[in-house]
Amino acid sequence: MVAQGLKPPLSILVPVLNEADSIIQALRALAPLRARGVEIILCDGGSGDATMALAAGAGDLVIAAPRGRASQMNAAAARAASDTLLFLHVDTRLPDNADALVLDGLTASGRAWGRFDVQIDGASLLLRVVAKLMNIRSRLTGIATGDQAIFARADAFRATGGFPDIPLMEDIAFSARMKRLGPPLCLRARATTSGRRWEKHGVIGTILLMWRLRAAYFLGADPRDLAVRYGYRPGPD
């Protein structure tokens, strides 16, 4: 809980959409951070279930915004009280000392933004390989994905315009914007994200699909067309 009148050391911003089955578990995972003064803001994109009712009172702030992960994260950032922002998917869990890692890391490095390494929770051993390759690629390219719990100084976030309001690849586009300010701080501590998306569609099939979509994006394809190919409705999945 943020003490009244005190600026929180970190604001964690969580876009949600129809997450009634998982929102309580997600907020419980954030409870130790919240007890240390970290601000939690949930931004709902128009859930048709009980997500907002369940979240009410469990986060510092629950707001609504037009559906779309970028739109929701930008809306949450506009309400954040901290000088440091962390964008968290509802199915991703942070390491226990995430607040200290982010704040100390940014201070020591002088960087404007960064991300965690990621591990993917699931039964397939291939998910370990996928996560390792994601972390290596991110270090080589300076591109971060939403599953890696991107964080940024609030002034740098606002200076670059935040997340582009596109239905897919918003994390890639945001990374490109932030790289103009410098490379990301790549923390080796791991955020753990759910493998449900990978296992639902098959690990190999999902890898190949994401490669094709990213290649098309870098070649100039419209993110709205890519979202259709991904079978993705705008908003958190």
Q: DSSP labels for 10-65?
A: -EEEEEESS-TTTHHHHHHHHHHHHHTT-EEEEEES--SSSHHHHHTTTSSEEEE-
Q: What is the pLDDT of residue 199?
A: 74
Tally Cβ neighbours within 10 Å of residue 115: 27
One of 3.40.50.1370, 3.90.550.10, 3.30.450.20, 2.60.40.1180 is the CATH number of 11-230, namely 3.90.550.10
Q: What is the pLDDT of residue 235?
A: 41
Q: What is the pLDDT of residue 227?
A: 57
> How far apart, in Å, do the first and last CA atoms of the chain sit?
28
Helix (H, G, I), strand (E, B) or coil at 91: coil
Residue 33 tokens, joined: 């951070």
d(C-alpha 148, C-alpha 171), whole Å = 10
Q: What is the pLDDT along the chain (237 residues), one digit of tens a residue?
A: 555 668 999 999 999 999 999 999 999 999 999 999 999 999 999 999 999 999 987 778 999 999 999 999 999 999 999 999 999 999 999 999 999 999 999 999 999 999 999 999 988 888 999 899 999 999 999 999 999 999 999 999 999 999 999 877 899 999 999 999 999 999 999 999 998 777 777 777 777 767 766 666 566 666 666 555 565 544 444
Domain ranges of the chain: 11-230
Q: What is the pLDDT of residue 44?
A: 96
Q: What is the pLDDT of residue 66?
A: 95
